[in-house]
Amino acid sequence: MELVARTTSDYEFLDAGDGCRLERFGSYVFNRPSPVALWHPERPELWNNAVGVYHRSNTGGGDWSFTRSPPPQWPLKWNDLTFMIKPTGFGHMGLFPEHTCHWDWVADQVGQQGPGGPCRVLHLFAYTGAMTLQAARAGAEVCHVDAVPDINDWARRNAEASGLKAAPIRWITDDVTKFVAREGRRERKYDALIFDPPSYGKGPGGEKWILEEHLMPLLDLLLPLMSDRPRFVLFTCHTLGFSPPLMKNLLVPWLDRFGGKIEAGTMVMKNHVCKRVLPTGFFARWEGGQH
């Protein structure tokens, strides 16, 4: 199945092609790499509107070139949430619009109040907190975990800008695997998991994360953290070589232990003017169905 990213007046996916994607964040248009966009752009007349182009380096990372410098940061509103946006050294903007295809689903899952009170959500590799804020706004208690202090500070600013400074969010800066192992020893339980693991990463102590090596040990630690009647798991990934069947297979232990159902598919960006959609990653979602 395909899930299409949502849109808003402050954000628009414009086009893709020749290995790049063109998007508008507020008043500013950016051209960023997208290796899967092998075709030619369908709206070539728009590409000269980009104020920033990100050039990826062969050795990792990259840099921006600007025809007009954007502000150091600016607010982007999406429904009741506000995100502070800026071009980063890795080509990110502080928000992954492709994940908006899951926002309503997460809110629906969280909003189904169970006998144990508010849904307790563990959000790993949580970045600048878009899914954290979506879950918190829907009524969840969220444990937000990311290894980068500056990114967690950014997520806190997004919470404040969105009027959620006082929301029940536990902000954790730590290596994800180490933190999850400690939560297991504390016998802490969660009703839901959200995680978007990178291909490669480093913890605050220099701990290495390599997806193919460390994902299964992490999943083995996560399953015992589930409450007696868990609600959902949302697993997203952007790593080449992963696929919906693979990701669905990885969530089978939840199906075996708790029943429910799993669905998996591709996240895509779409513009109504373009004939093509842009694949941006894969997902698998487990739903308990017994709140």
pLDDT at 113: 65
Q: Which of the 8 DSSP states describes residue 167?
A: S
Decide if pLDDT at 159 tops 80.
yes
pLDDT (tens digit, 9 = 90+) per residue, 219-247?
A: 999 999 999 999 999 999 999 889 999 99
- Structural contact between residues 244 and 283, judged by C-beta atoms closer than 8 angstroms: yes
Whether the CB-CB separation of 107 and 137 falls below 8 Å is answered with yes
* Out of 85-94, 130-139, 194-203, least confident range: 194-203
pLDDT > 80? residue 115: no
What domains are there in the chain, each with its CATH number?
2-85 (2.60.40.1180), 98-287 (3.40.50.150)
Asked whether the predicted pLDDT for residue 41 surpasses 80, the reply is yes
C-alpha 149/C-alpha 164 separation (Å) is: 19
Could you give the CA distance from residue 282 to residue 134 in angstroms, rounded to a whole number? Answer: 20
**Within 13 Å of residue 213, how many CA atoms lie on the same side as its CB?**
6
Q: Are 147 and 155 in contact (CB under 8 A)?
A: no
> Given the structure tokens 């809110």, which residue do they identify?
107
In which band, very low, low, confident or very high, does the pLDDT at 61 lie, cut at 50, 70 and 90?
confident
Residue 291 confidence (pLDDT) above 60:
no
